[in-house]
Amino acid sequence: MLRRLPICMLLLLISACSSQQQDQQIQKAAEPEQVELQPAEHWQLSYFDEPVFNSKVAVLEAGNKHNPPVILIHGLGRLGMKDWFSVIPALEKNYHVIAVDLPGFGLSAAAEGRFLPTNYARVIAAVSRQYSSEKAIIIGHSMGGAVALRYSELYAELVKQLILVDAAGLLEKSAFIKHIAAFEFDDDLPAFVQQQIEGLNEFSSSMVEAGTKNTSITDFLQDNDYAWDWLVSDSSNMNAALSLVEEDFSQAVNQVAVPVNIIWGDKDNVAPLRTGKVLNKQMSNAHLQVINGAGHVPMKSHHAEFMSTLETALNEPTTDKYSLTGTGQSQGILTCRGQSDKTYSGHYDEIVVKGCDNIRLINISTDSLLIKGSVVDIENLIFANKDNRLEFNESVVTITNADISGHNTMLINGSRLDMAGVSIKATGDAVMIGNGSRISVSLSDINSPKYKGVVHGAFYLRNQPLIEQ
C-alpha cells in the first residue's frame, strides 16, 4: 500500500486544485460585487506561436502599449486568464496589461510535454519579448505565482517587480499537501469536537508523510515520458500540478533581487498563509500583505480589498529586508505539562513542554527549549545560545520562521519536524538526529562547518547530522 500512497496524495492535490473553479463560484455568489468574466470589447486577443511546447498561446492585451507592461500569470483551472478579468479594468488605466493562457489552459491550444513551472517561465519569456520591449511587472496567482517566481529567477533582466498572490507549491512537497489534506473547523465548535478533528488532522499528516517517504512511483514518472504522457494526457491540471510539486524553488527564493510584494488570503485552504510568511522572511526586498477572510482567490472573493492592496503594492514596492525582532524582557521559565490548546509569546530563559497537545509558541525567544511527547507549533522563533540547544523528543513540531544560532543547535529524537523559513548558524552540528526521525525542510538555510547553503527536502535519518558535506 505504501508504494501507492505518493500518487494518491498527489492526486489529492489535483482534486483540491481542480475544484478551485467551484470554490470561486461559491465565493462569487457570496460577494455583493459583480466580478466580470467576459472580455471588454476594446481588449485585444491574439495568438502567439511559442517555442517551448510548439503550441499556440492566447494573449490578451489591454491599455496603452506605451505604458509600463504588466504580465498576469494565472493558476490551475479551466478559466485560465479569466481569473484576472476583474483586475484588468483598473490596471489598464496606467499599464500595458498582458494576460496569457498558458499552454493547455483556457483559449490556448493543447500541448505535449511536462508543464513544469520552468517550462512555463520560458513561455512567458517568449511572450514578453514578443509583446513588450521593457522590463515588466510580473503578477502570478497560485501555480502562476510559482511560474512568476521561477521566471523572475531565470529572466531577471526582463523583470521590474514581482507580485505573488497566494502562490502554491513552494513548500516542500509533504508540507504543502498536508495543508490541503487538513480538515477545517470553526472555533465555536465544542472543545471535544475540535480535539477529535485535530487528532484526525494529525493522523492525516502522518499518512501524507508516510506516503511521500517512498518516492519510487514519482521517480518513475519523472524519468519515464511514456508513463507521464499516459497519466496526464487528458488533464492539463494534472500535468501542471504534478509538475509543480516536484520543482524546488529554494534557489529562486534566495536569488530574486527585484522588489517583491506578497498578497495572501488568510483563509487560503490551498496554499497556506505560512508560505507567504516564509517568503516574506527569506526573500530580500519582500513585503507581505494579508487580506483577512479571503481564501485562495482573493481578487474574486474580496475584490475591493484586493484591488486596494494591489494598488499599494504597485505604487509602493518594498525595498526593506524583513527580519525577526526581539520579544522584550525575560518572563523567567515557562513550563507546560499535560496541557492542551495553549498559546505563549515573549522571551523566556527556559521553555519546557512535556506531554502537551496543540501548543503554540508565537513570537518567542528563549535560551533553552525542550519539547517531549508533545505537539507544538512554533512561529517566529529567536534562539541564540552557544551552550544550549533546541531538543525535540518523541514530538511533532512545526517551525515557521526562525533564526537559530549556537554551537550544536538542535537535537531531534524520534520526532517529526516540519520547518520552513528557518535560518541556522552553528559552529558545530546544526541539526543532529538521534533516534530515527522524519524532517521536512522548506526554504531554509544552514551555515555550519559541515554545510553552507539552502536546504529544501524531506529527510529520514538516524544517528547522524541532517546535512553532511
| In-domain check, residue 112 | yes
Q: Is residue 388 classed as helix, strand or coil in its secondary structure?
A: coil
The three grid cell numbers given for residue 392, joined into one nine-digit string: 525535540
By CB atoms closer than 10 A (0-12, 13-18, 19+), residue 385 is: middle
- Per-residue confidence (pLDDT) for residue 232, from 0 to 100: 58
Query: Residues 343, 288: one domain?
Result: no
Ramachandran region, residue 55 (left: φ > 0; alpha: ψ -120 to 50; beta: rest): beta
Query: Residues 250, 132: one domain?
Result: yes
Query: Residues 287, 353: one domain?
Result: no
| In-domain check, residue 180 | no
The three grid cell numbers given for residue 14, joined into one nine-digit string: 489535483
The three grid cell numbers given for residue 279, joined into one nine-digit string: 517568503
| In-domain check, residue 151 | yes
Which among 171, 169, 136 is positioned nearest to 155, based on CA atoms?
Answer: 136
Query: Residues 52, 118: one domain?
Result: yes
* Helix 173-181 vs helix 5-18: crossing angle, to nearest 10: 60
- Per-residue confidence (pLDDT) for residue 12, from 0 to 100: 40
Query: Residues 376, 232: one domain?
Result: no
Question: Any residues with CB less than 8 A from the CB of 207 and at least 6 apart, and which?
Answer: 5, 9
The three grid cell numbers given for residue 346, joined into one nine-digit string: 515573549
By CB atoms closer than 10 A (0-12, 13-18, 19+), residue 387 is: exposed
Rounded distance between C-alpha atoms, residue 293 and residue 91, angstroms? 24
Residue whose C-alpha cell reads 494576460 in the numeric block: 99
Query: Residues 150, 58: one domain?
Result: yes
What's the gap between Cα 42 and its chain centre? 36
* Domain final residue pick, 256, 286, 315: 315
Which among 140, 124, 110 is positioned nearest to 237, based on CA atoms?
Answer: 110
* Domain final residue pick, 315, 350, 378: 315
Note down pLDDT in tens along the chain; length 469 residues. 233 334 444 444 444 444 343 334 333 333 334 445 688 999 999 999 999 999 999 999 999 999 999 999 999 988 899 999 999 999 999 999 999 999 999 999 988 888 999 999 999 999 999 999 999 999 999 999 999 999 999 999 999 999 999 999 999 987 656 444 444 434 454 554 444 434 433 433 333 334 444 454 455 455 555 555 555 556 788 888 888 888 999 999 999 999 999 999 999 988 999 999 999 999 988 999 999 999 999 999 999 999 999 999 999 877 677 778 777 888 999 999 999 999 999 999 999 999 999 999 999 999 999 999 999 999 999 999 999 999 999 999 999 999 999 999 999 999 999 999 999 999 999 999 998 899 999 999 999 999 999 999 988 888 888 876 5
pTM of this prediction exceeds 0.75:
yes
- Per-residue confidence (pLDDT) for residue 27, from 0 to 100: 38
For residue 385, the cross-strand partners are 406
* Domain final residue pick, 280, 315, 350: 315
| In-domain check, residue 45 | yes
Query: Residues 295, 386: one domain?
Result: no
- Going 168 to 112 to 60 to 122, the CA torsion angle's sign is positive
| In-domain check, residue 439 | yes
Written as one string, the DSSP assignment of 298-322 is HHHHTHHHHHHHHHHHHHS------
For residue 249, the cross-strand partners are none
Query: Residues 230, 360: one domain?
Result: no
The three grid cell numbers given for residue 76, joined into one nine-digit string: 490551475
Output b/e per residue, 117-128; b: 16+ Cβ within 10 A. Answer: bbbbbbbbbebb
Q: Is residue 414 classed as helix, strand or coil in its secondary structure?
A: coil
Query: Residues 367, 439: one domain?
Result: yes
Written as one string, the DSSP assignment of 83-138 is GGTTTHHHHTTTSEEEEE--TTSTTSPP--S---HHHHHHHHHHHHHHH-SS-EEE
| In-domain check, residue 270 | yes
Half-sphere exposure for 322 (CA within 13 Å, toward CB): 22
- Please say whether the beta carbons of 374 and 356 come within 8 A: yes
| In-domain check, residue 19 | yes
| In-domain check, residue 184 | no
CATH of the domain at 267: 3.40.50.1820
Query: Residues 103, 226: one domain?
Result: yes
What's the number of domains the chain is made of? Answer: 2
CA 114-118-121 angle, to 5 degrees, is 110
Written as one string, the DSSP assignment of 56-86 is EEEEEEES-TTSPEEEEE--SSTTGGGGGTT
Q: Which structural domain range is residue 455 located in?
A: 333-465
By CB atoms closer than 10 A (0-12, 13-18, 19+), residue 413 is: middle
Query: Residues 370, 302: one domain?
Result: no
- Please say whether the beta carbons of 365 and 326 come within 8 A: yes
Query: Residues 43, 158: one domain?
Result: yes
Rounded distance between C-alpha atoms, residue 432 and residue 417, angstroms? 12
